[in-house]
Structure 1
Amino acid sequence: MSNPLLEPFEAPFETAPFDQIKPEHFLPAIKKSIEIAKAEIAAITQNEEAPTFANTIEALERGGRLSGIVAGVFFNLNSAETNDKIQKLAREISPLLTEYHNDILLDEKLFEKIKTVYEQKSQYDLTPEAATLLEKTYKSFVRNGAGLNDEDKTKLREIDKKMSQLSLEFGEHLLKETNEYMMVLEDEAELEGMPESSKEAAAALAEEKGKKGAWVVTLDYPSYVPFMTYCSNRARREELYKVFASRGYKGDANDNREIVKQIVQLRQQRANLLGYKTHAHFVLEERMAESPVKVTDFLKELLDYSKPVAKKDVEEVTAYAKKLDGIEKLERWDFAYYSEKLKKEKYAIDDELLKPYFKLENVIDGVFEVAQILYGISFKENKDIPVYHKDVKAYEVLDAAGKHKAVFYADFFPRAGKRAGAWMTSYRGQFKEDGKNVRPHVSIVCNFTKPTATKPSLLTFNEVTTLFHEFGHALHGMLAEGVYSSLSGTHVYWDFVELPSQIMENWAYEKECLDLFARHYETGEKIPEDLITRIKDSANFMEGYQTLRQLSFGLLDMGWHGTDTSAIDDVYAYEKELIKETELFPEVPGMLSSTAFAHIFQGGYSSGYYSYKWAEVLDADAFEYFKEKGIFNKEVSDLFQKHVLSAGGSEHPMELYKRFRGKEPSPKALLKRAGLISE
């Protein structure tokens, strides 16, 4: 059987041939690509010449490229367009890849050669990027068990194998529970308060699920969030909230409690085996934050500033709910509903007022225009590039001279095979080799409100900032100019990776930017200036509460990974203890975050959730520089492109940041922007 994954990709720009790939191609392609990669490693270890930077470090960097591409296509589809076949394959493929990576990292001959080069590094005249590659390569082997004895290496392999399986199971349970649930409403009165567009979407969803004539609400964000925000039916809000907030914690086949315990205990064992106190100590050694103490101090400092403001936020909403509807005790399922009503009363603004100005296609054009003004790149849809689902669009990205820069995929709507949330990923990274600059293939995946029979996809302002956020990550990938793919684009310290994404959100609040694209989808009228003023005025509405919520996730993550968790039995009791300082509502038994916390148990954020707040410090400080000079100032955008977006992980992020900004970042810019301090 010919296998498109093992043939040269003939599609435009060597993009993945999604139109030819079938599930049955993956396992043989993974096995064959691992075989090829092992032969490439053997060529390094069996080379009788003395180890050098070129024949060892650079050769290793080039090795395994095919397996990386095949695995990238597979796991991206497992997140964005999965099915039972793909999930079954993931359970077979994941251990194979774990085993293969361990074979490399635990190869004694290979490590000896790397160690020799590392110990002789003073003899080489290395560029800063090459020196970073050598340091990173050596450390990754040491940090993954190269120095262990044979018995401990076997233990490490077993742990890694189990962890990869458990992580897959965690995600499968979450997706299954999300897909299986639907709230069917037979009476339109039960949707009172819902905007017409949301009702229409609920009716379309009902038809799709064979419940014609009814309305269906699911746990997907575009369905869940509007219901919790606008539906006046308190009992139904409570019902939906309790199902959502107990995902993975219902004592059924999708329960994730045991998986959570096993994952954290295996991470703890792995860290101990490698000589680290906890998983967080292991992870943070390679982060800007450096240690669990520093992260916890950082989170607690923000907690000190935000908690008094958050308390006032909740008190204000509580008083408002009592005045409006006689609610004596504000519950968690009331907060979004009454805070939205209060926001509308205070600022004469809400999502329904704004959505007509944020037609998805216009927002995409807007973000493309921002990229063109700042970085000189343009986007052209190319229908010859194969895509993996009819909703996905592919674009060719061109530089200012009209030369090919990247391929960009955009995938915006929820579906059964796609996990919740929004993310950026890539199918091919950027690197330079043999005089050729190999350009990247980058994708952003979101879950926005779908068009209906009568309306296009109209985004909430939160969805607009999400699109800008993910596009910021995409720019980091598309504008990469590294020599080595493992240091290129988003391959940076985890607590630096959110800077390019979070800084992009700032433009969405600026008149100069909104004037480029925010037009009423029916009349073409520009967004009125007073609405932009209200967006800015309301930007910090409930910011104390939102900050506290983010900090609770950061503290939860550090609690699971920064202390010895081997004796923990009760996931619920442990979580409640960890986040008690951030709780402002009465406890609702049966509600749990950990069992649905995909970022840390399925994604790569374990011991790294704090990085959202850490990067906010960087992005507030960096955007202050843009504001000083002008948000479209070419001098500042050139500096940001050169030292942040194009530089990738070529050097330590603080050095790159200081080159852009001229100084270290100050948390004051964030606290000021968030309204947590006055000046």
Structure 2
Amino acid sequence: MADTNDINPALTTWDGALGLPRFDSISEDDFAPAFEWAMADHLREIDAIAGNAAKPDFANTIEALEVSGDALSRVAAVFFTRAGADTNPAIQALEREIAPKLSAHYSTIGANAALFRRIDALWQERQSLALTEEQTIVLERHWKGLVRSGAQLAADKQARLAEINGRLAELGTNFGQNVLADESEWAMFLTTEDELQGLPDFLIDAMAAAAAERGRPEAYAVTLSRSIVEPFLTLSARRDLREKAFRAWTARGLSGGEHDNRPVMKETLRLRAEKANLLGYENFAAMKLDNTMAKTADAVDTLLMDVWEKAVKAAGNDEKELQSLVAEDGANHDIEAWDWRYYAEKRRARKFSFSESEVKPYLQLERILEACFAVAGRLFGIQAVARPDIVAYHPDVRVYEIRDENGEAFAIFLGDYFNRATKRSGAWMNALQSQHRLPLPNGQQGELPIVINVCNFAKPAEGKPALLSLDDAHTLFHEFGHALHGMLSNVTYPSVSGTGVDRDFVELPSQLYEHWLTIPDILRNYALHYSTGAAMPDALMDKVLEAANFNQAFSTVEYTASAIVDMHLHTATTPPADPVAFQDGVLNAIGMPKAIAMRHAIPHFLHIFSGDGYAAGYYSYMWAEVLDADAFEAFEETGNAFDPETARQLLDNILSKGGSVRAEAAYRAFRGKMPTPDAMLRGRGLLD
């Protein structure tokens, strides 16, 4: 076992500026011994809690657990930040090694009978302990967590559960690394003027930068970064190149070689089903939905299928219009999946007299980020102060102090916005450190949140501005909504801090925050042309807002198909022998339009296979959209999107509460009622 003398203190003692880790003092070689020592130290803490001779009470058991494992949490936070956003072969090798070790570590804790006896005693007596609501929820989480770790199982079943969890951790790591390998290894290099037909300067610049990064400064690279491949599919006049790019994009995880995810998915689904059965659940979905607002697969299915039927009908009408544009081009092919975005853009340009290439020059990353901070300032009285003097884990990462109305720093925010080959795809928020108010073993009273947003926007060529699509801008606002949930948290216990809420409630703050991007006042002040500084003309802004629901049938079909397949995979009576064939069977059964692809085909569906965070839970984006559409109507009903009282209610009842109150109670406290899907359907243009 590693000795403390072998441990780089920069990993466990964060004494850099603003309490951040000194990232530049940490090397890849530091992680392995630090993990080994920190896991052993955590087990010593657990044994001390479990072996406490005093009668169990909330302080000596639950609060002690809440602050245990601090060193391990810090090592893991730095490591997994690097693994997701700035990896390399050494980090990836260690990730494959450490994932099952961490799983085994937590299985050991889950099998600690003395620890469970203490927690179970408190759980059985909870009605007489005079606990607050937050304390009751924290106790419940620890009790249920140990039960799900097998605390009530016989020893042989505990051992099998630990074995399953360890293997699932390996498989999740392998899945994500396979997708990253397929994404980073593929590029389509264009070298002639003809191959660039239809592409605007902003995309050509981004493709030039991507090619230069790959050692081809004379070329232009179409990569599988969503911020490049989606605009390419939307704007390229070369149908053959669109098809080539689309097929590569949708074939991630299906390479047929060492990065093929088919065997990973098959084994993952089999082990998840076995795990659920061991713990007494009918299937994996039933296990995952137990602690959600939806509660049952039937409730999820009712929502998804209602939306699906409306979206497919609307998409069919849209496809007929797109097909007429094909004929106008003098072609006679059917609309295929690599055609839809291209002809939809033509249709939008005709219907609303503008194109994405007209809008993008007004959506500079710097200005949209300012807008993001400005909205938070108007709603919640906070300010973001840039700290360019502070070095984070990569030169592209920006560091901000988040201060309250009195100028006091209450959170740290890191923004990592540009795509690179060392970063996994997508966009996400994670917390290096969560807010809480408990005293720590080092004498510190509570901690400030340290939150990271990671995106994959195309990095511009040197000297060029970073321009966003409207979707990119929505993504930036979405992830900052998650960040606000973490930074505005005001709870006592770390396990219910910030985004520590029900899975189908966690997307509410992020999706709600997106609404403020398209408030006319925000666009007028921050959608400024990158070369002239002029505001987006009112006429163009009106068209953008009028077109907000354009192509929503397509977006709804591609998302909902993914959510439906996810639920079918995890409610299947028998895990499928061929998950891809199973996926195709589900899509055929529900009438998936041939010209639309799933947003995430399962071989690269990171949400549900790179770990199980959204497994049997991808529906939660739509579940939360039902809430966020209704929540924004609360502001609209006042006639002021920045109504101070409504903003205060949002802060007091949802953003600051984390998981310290039940999700439904939190929403009712804010809105006074639970919503119907109507506002969401209106927002998507699917309800008359």
TM-score normalized by the length of structure 1: 0.97
Shift of 1:144: 2.2
Q: Quote the residue 1:405 is aligned against.
A: 410
Select the residue among 652, 663, 668 that pairs with 1:653: 663
Q: Deviations over 1:190-228 (max 9, x none)?
A: 110111221222223223322232222111122211211
**Against the structure 1 CA distance between its residues 96 and 44, is the aligned structure 2 distance closer, same or farther, given a 3 Å change threshold?**
same
Asked if 1:602 is matched to 2:630, the reply is: no
Cα pair 1:657 1:664 within 8 Å, conserved: yes
Cα pair 2:515 2:632 within 8 Å, conserved: yes
Asked if 1:639 is matched to 2:652, the reply is: no
Distance in 2 between the 1:358 and 1:625 partners? 28
Distance in 2 between the 1:673 and 1:416 partners? 36
Shift of 1:403: 0.7
Cα pair 1:15 1:386 within 8 Å, conserved: no
**Against the structure 1 CA distance between its residues 591 and 649, is the aligned structure 2 distance closer, same or farther, given a 3 Å change threshold?**
closer
Asked if 1:249 is matched to 2:259, the reply is: no
Distance in 2 between the 1:648 and 1:23 partners? 34
Q: Quote the residue 1:174 is aligned against.
A: 179
Shift of 1:571: 2.5
Instruction: State how 1:449-528 maps to structure 2 within 5 Å.
Output: 449-453=458-462, 455-528=464-537
Cα pair 2:39 2:72 within 8 Å, conserved: yes
Shift of 1:572: 2.6
- The secondary structure found in structure 2 opposite 1:600 is helix
Q: Quote the residue 2:675 is aligned against.
A: 665
Q: Deviations over 1:133-172 (max 9, x none)?
A: 1111111111221100000001001100100001111111
Cα pair 1:246 1:592 within 8 Å, conserved: no
Q: Which AA in structure 1 matches 2:9?
A: P
Q: Quote the residue 1:128 is aligned against.
A: 133
Q: Which AA in structure 1 matches 2:650?
A: F
Q: Which AA in structure 1 matches 2:318?
A: D
Distance in 2 between the 1:407 and 1:454 partners? 28
- The secondary structure found in structure 1 opposite 2:423 is coil
Q: Which AA in structure 2 matches 1:48?
A: A
Cα pair 2:315 2:553 within 8 Å, conserved: yes
Instruction: State how 1:130-529 maps to structure 2 within 5 Å.
Output: 130-434=135-439, 436-453=445-462, 455-529=464-538
Q: Quote the residue 1:571 is aligned against.
A: 579
Distance in 1 between the 2:185 and 2:60 partners? 53
- The secondary structure found in structure 1 opposite 2:292 is coil
Q: Deviations over 1:402-428 (max 9, x none)?
A: 111100000010111101111111100
Farther-moved stretch of structure 1 (119-128 vs 410-419): 119-128
Shift of 1:641: 0.6
Farther-moved stretch of structure 1 (427-436 vs 15-24): 427-436
Instruction: State how 1:67-86 maps to structure 2 within 5 Å.
Output: 67-86=72-91
Shift of 1:401: 0.7
- The secondary structure found in structure 2 opposite 1:333 is coil
Distance in 1 between the 2:398 and 2:332 partners? 47
Q: Which AA in structure 1 matches 2:344?
A: S
Shift of 1:282: 0.2
Distance in 2 between the 1:677 and 1:454 partners? 45
Distance in 2 between the 1:64 and 1:2 partners? 16
Shift of 1:178: 0.8
Distance in 2 between the 1:465 and 1:195 partners? 21
Instruction: State how 1:577-596 maps to structure 2 within 5 Å.
Output: 577-580=585-588, 581-585=590-594, 593-596=601-604
Identical-residue share of aligned pairs (%): 38
Cα pair 1:383 1:394 within 8 Å, conserved: yes
Cα pair 2:208 2:217 within 8 Å, conserved: yes
Q: Which AA in structure 2 matches 1:244?
A: W
Q: Which AA in structure 2 matches 1:575?
A: Q
**Any stretches of 5+ residues in structure 2 without a counterpart?**
1-5
Cα pair 2:297 2:567 within 8 Å, conserved: yes
Distance in 1 between the 2:593 and 2:76 partners? 43
- The secondary structure found in structure 1 opposite 2:425 is coil
Q: Deviations over 1:332-356 (max 9, x none)?
A: 1111111011111111122211112
Distance in 2 between the 1:108 and 1:510 partners? 55
Q: Which AA in structure 1 matches 2:609?
A: F
Shift of 1:48: 0.8
Q: Which AA in structure 2 matches 1:656?
A: A
Cα pair 2:209 2:460 within 8 Å, conserved: no
Farther-moved stretch of structure 1 (69-78 vs 516-525): 516-525
Asked if 1:538 is matched to 2:543, the reply is: no
Q: Which AA in structure 2 matches 1:393?
A: R
**Any stretches of 5+ residues in structure 1 without a counterpart?**
none
Shift of 1:2: 5.1
Distance in 1 between the 2:12 and 2:169 partners? 28
Select the residue among 33, 54, 66 that pairs with 1:28: 33
Q: Quote the residue 1:627 is aligned against.
A: 636
Distance in 1 between the 2:55 and 2:9 partners? 38
Cα pair 1:11 1:386 within 8 Å, conserved: no
Asked if 1:676 is matched to 2:683, the reply is: no
Distance in 1 between the 2:106 and 2:543 partners? 52
Distance in 2 between the 1:248 and 1:6 partners? 33
Cα pair 2:13 2:21 within 8 Å, conserved: no
Shift of 1:509: 1.5
Farther-moved stretch of structure 1 (21-30 vs 200-209): 200-209
Instruction: Give the number of equivalent residue pairs.
Output: 676
Distance in 2 between the 1:219 and 1:545 partners? 20
- Aligned-residue Cα RMSD (Å) equals 1.7
Q: Deviations over 1:37-91 (max 9, x none)?
A: 1111111111111111111111111111221121111112100000000000111
- The secondary structure found in structure 1 opposite 2:457 is coil
- The secondary structure found in structure 2 opposite 1:442 is strand
Shift of 1:582: 4.6
Q: Which AA in structure 2 matches 1:59?
A: A
**Against the structure 1 CA distance between its residues 304 and 204, is the aligned structure 2 distance closer, same or farther, given a 3 Å change threshold?**
closer
- The secondary structure found in structure 1 opposite 2:9 is coil
Distance in 2 between the 1:64 and 1:591 partners? 38
- Runs of 4+ aligned residues of structure 1 deviating over 6 Å after TM superposition are none
- The secondary structure found in structure 2 opposite 1:396 is strand
Cα pair 1:245 1:591 within 8 Å, conserved: no
Distance in 2 between the 1:294 and 1:646 partners? 28
Cα pair 2:337 2:596 within 8 Å, conserved: no
Shift of 1:277: 0.7
Shift of 1:565: 3.5
Cα pair 1:431 1:488 within 8 Å, conserved: yes
Q: Deviations over 1:233-256 (max 9, x none)?
A: 111111111111111113112111
Distance in 2 between the 1:562 and 1:289 partners? 15
**Against the structure 1 CA distance between its residues 62 and 591, is the aligned structure 2 distance closer, same or farther, given a 3 Å change threshold?**
closer
Distance in 2 between the 1:136 and 1:207 partners? 49
Cα pair 1:12 1:384 within 8 Å, conserved: no
